[in-house]
Amino acid sequence: MLIQHAKMTKNDLKTDEYHDYYSDFIEKTEGLDLSSGLVKSRDKIIDFYNSIPESKAGFRYGKGKWSVKEIIQHHTDTERVFSYRALCISRGDKTPLPNYDHDAYVENCDVQNRSIKELIEEYKSVRSATIALFESFDLDALMHKGIAGGHYISVRAIAFILMGHEIHHCEVLRERYL
């Protein structure tokens, strides 16, 4: 059972646990709790990704905008970066963690020769690892704070940021791509 000792919601977070930049993502997690949210959001996003036809995979709604496949890869990359942050902070590593240049990650990944199904499988693997990581945290570890991108962030805030980040991009995909 995922984080059975911590039925936390976004309402439990304090504003000093994350930078204002992440507020919109966190707000999108209404109705999700830390115990089941990572699993529920994974299942929803996989269902959503599976509904996207391969014919839309390279679509961009404007010049300089990411393609559908690039957005899926972006979800996976963001998951990896933020899970690493959660690991470092939870283990008491006081090393300030660098910014994450998501544009550079998209520019330097090759999704052209990959199908949506392949990208979904990669995402599933990475989310499974994230779930296992968060299952390993006790309440104390969830409350740890560290510095990432020049700002304080807590381990538990990272989980809500990941969930809200996905919701945000799925909304964008529905509104502008599909």
Query: Residue 1 above 50 pLDDT?
Result: no
Contacts of range 140-144, beta carbons closer than 8 Å, 24 or more positions apart? 141/90, 141/91, 142/3, 142/6, 142/8, 142/34, 142/90, 144/89, 144/90, 144/92
Tell me, yes or no, whether 5 lies in a domain. no
Range of the domain at 109: 10-177
Tell me, yes or no, whether 1 lies in a domain. no
pLDDT at 4: 52
Count of structural domains within the chain? 1
CATH code for position 39: 1.20.120.450
Tell me, yes or no, whether 150 lies in a domain. yes
Tell me, yes or no, whether 4 lies in a domain. no
Tell me, yes or no, whether 3 lies in a domain. no
Query: Residue 80 above 60 pLDDT?
Result: yes
Residues 1-30, buried b or exposed e (16+ Cβ, 10 A)? ebbeebebebeebeeebbbeebeebbebbe
Tell me, yes or no, whether 77 lies in a domain. yes
Tell me, yes or no, whether 40 lies in a domain. yes
* Number of Cβ atoms within 10 Å of the Cβ of 64: 6
Tell me, yes or no, whether 2 lies in a domain. no
- Give tens-digit pLDDT for 16-73: 999 999 999 999 999 999 888 999 999 999 999 999 999 999 999 999 999 999 999 9
Contacts of range 77-80, beta carbons closer than 8 Å, 24 or more positions apart? 77/102, 77/105, 77/106, 77/109, 78/102, 78/162, 78/165, 79/123, 79/126, 79/127, 79/130, 79/162, 80/126
